[in-house]
Amino acid sequence: MPIHPESLPARGTAIVTGASSGIGAAYARRLAADGHDLVLVARRAERLRTLAAELTGQHDVRVETVVADLGDAGDLDRVARRAAADDVGMLVNNAGINGYGPFAETDAALLEKVMAVNVVALTRLARAAVPGMLARGRGAVVNVASTLAFAGSLPPDPLPVRAVYGGTKGYVVTFSRTLAAELDGAPVRVQVLCPGLTATEFHLTQGQDSVAGDVARVHDDGGMPVEDVVTASLRALETGEVVCVPGLVDGEAVDRIAAAEFGLRSSSSSTLAPRYQNPASSESPAALDSRREDTQSRLSSQETRDQLGVRSVVLVPRLDERHCPLVMGTEVRILGHGGIKATRRRSGSVRPPSARASASWKRVRNRRSRSAPRVVARGRRGGRGLASRTGGAG
């Protein structure tokens, strides 16, 4: 995405959803220090009032608070009207809930709420804000997703049990990347921020209710400090990086997603693939099942995790090898039949899948190499509680 320095909202009003704690509160503090007027949105009125008083006491800015449940249609209408106002230069779509738990056992109403807050509200607010930003010729939208958007089919242990949460964050990534491509050349920036495990109160609730109390808390799972997450996001906004993963050392891993996607699409045609036409040409269902089971049991075996130390190692099946650099962790071990087939550090390069993909990849890479150096920070895995029995989350 070309850089438009003029598109950065110099001192416009910034709307931050989920500003009553965690990443949203840290974003609000940083933007106030940079001179932005603010609109802070969340359900906990007292927390918002306290933060607003702190910010107006320290900086020469105006701060409005909007108490709203973004899962409620009427409240969302009110916030959307505010997002469409003329003074808005930045929207930080940060509010999010996890609804972690086994899909078949989790309250269906909670799962709907996860979709309403993480997907519907985020999209609605972007839709409200972007037309005005385009008309005024400047603006930025930051949508907060998660590295769990890239966890794909990895089993829920040590990661959280997260089908709907992962699905919503996958939506946020695809929506943001596709919107950024649509607005390529327009003076409005779109970023998807994908934190890994972050030190907030996120894992203290599934999200149906706020965490009680007027003082910010941090879950036991630890994670990256919120200030670092915000630093990464703001730096990435300056450089024009669309997908910002604060703890990802190998920034080109993001380019490889584009290459893999291009490879998949360009090698798929309107003709039925041979393995579906002629079952004999593909692996037998029994062999396929046995290979999947083999991989799955290796991935979930406590012994394997203990032996390899899941806090520093990520195990991936050989079939998912291309995606491995995206997974948080310091080292990736690739599982095949009979055990570990390869060990790869995140900086290891993975070739694009085809010559056509290679051309696309080079285009993407050339574009990126024109931008300034990437933010480098180190994420952490590990933890307890809602996040997972033993692993990282968010």
Ligand X SMILES: NC(=O)c1ccc[n+]([C@@H]2O[C@H](COP(=O)([O-])OP(=O)(O)OC[C@H]3O[C@@H](n4cnc5c(N)ncnc54)[C@H](OP(=O)(O)O)[C@@H]3O)[C@@H](O)[C@H]2O)c1
Structure tokens at 340: 């570990």
Based on CB atoms, which residue is closest to ligand X, 364 or 377?
Answer: 377
Please report how close the Cβ of residue 176 comes to ligand X at its closest, in angstroms. Answer: 13
Give the span between the Cα atoms of 8 and 14, in whole angstroms. Answer: 12
Which of the following is catalytic: 27, 100, 165, 171? Answer: 165
Based on CB atoms, which residue is closest to ligand X, 97 or 188?
Answer: 97
Is 27 an active-site residue?
no
Using CB under 6 A as the criterion, which residues of the chain lie in contact with ligand X when the complex forms? 17-24, 42-44, 47, 68-71, 94-97, 117, 144, 146, 195, 197-198, 200-202, 207, 210, 223, 393-394
HEC string of 95-147? Answer: CCCCCCCCCCCCCHHHHHHHHHHHHHHHHHHHHHHHHHHHHHCCEEEEEECCH
Give the span between the Cα atoms of 257 and 255, in whole angstroms. Answer: 5
Please report how close the Cβ of residue 354 comes to ligand X at its closest, in angstroms. Answer: 32
- Is 293 exposed, middle or buried (CB count within 10 Å of its CB: 0-12, 13-18, 19+)? exposed
Cα-based angle 389, 170, 163 (whole degrees, multiple of 5)? 40
CA 357 to chain centroid: 25
Q: Whose CB is nearest to ligand X?
A: 394
Please report how close the Cβ of residue 298 comes to ligand X at its closest, in angstroms. Answer: 27
Please report how close the Cβ of residue 58 comes to ligand X at its closest, in angstroms. Answer: 20
Based on CB atoms, which residue is closest to ligand X, 4 or 78?
Answer: 78
Based on CB atoms, which residue is closest to ligand X, 127 or 292?
Answer: 127
Please report how close the Cβ of residue 21 comes to ligand X at its closest, in angstroms. Answer: 4
CA-to-CA separations, 148 to 66, 207, 356, in angstroms, rounded = 29, 17, 29
User: Are 388 and 151 contacting, i.e. CB atoms less than 8 angstroms apart?
Assistant: no
Give the span between the Cα atoms of 188 and 21, in whole angstroms. Answer: 27
Based on CB atoms, which residue is closest to ligand X, 236 or 364?
Answer: 236
Based on CB atoms, which residue is closest to ligand X, 112 or 331?
Answer: 112
Please report how close the Cβ of residue 94 comes to ligand X at its closest, in angstroms. Answer: 5
Q: Across the beta sheet with 339-345, what order do the strands follow?
A: 313-317, 331-336, 339-345
Based on CB atoms, which residue is closest to ligand X, 47 or 124?
Answer: 47
Please report how close the Cβ of residue 102 comes to ligand X at its closest, in angstroms. Answer: 19
Backbone φ and ψ of 313, nearest 5°: -130, 140
User: Are 16 and 27 contacting, i.e. CB atoms less than 8 angstroms apart?
Assistant: yes
Please report how close the Cβ of residue 1 comes to ligand X at its closest, in angstroms. Answer: 22
Based on CB atoms, which residue is closest to ligand X, 119 or 130?
Answer: 119
> Which residues are the active-site residues?
165
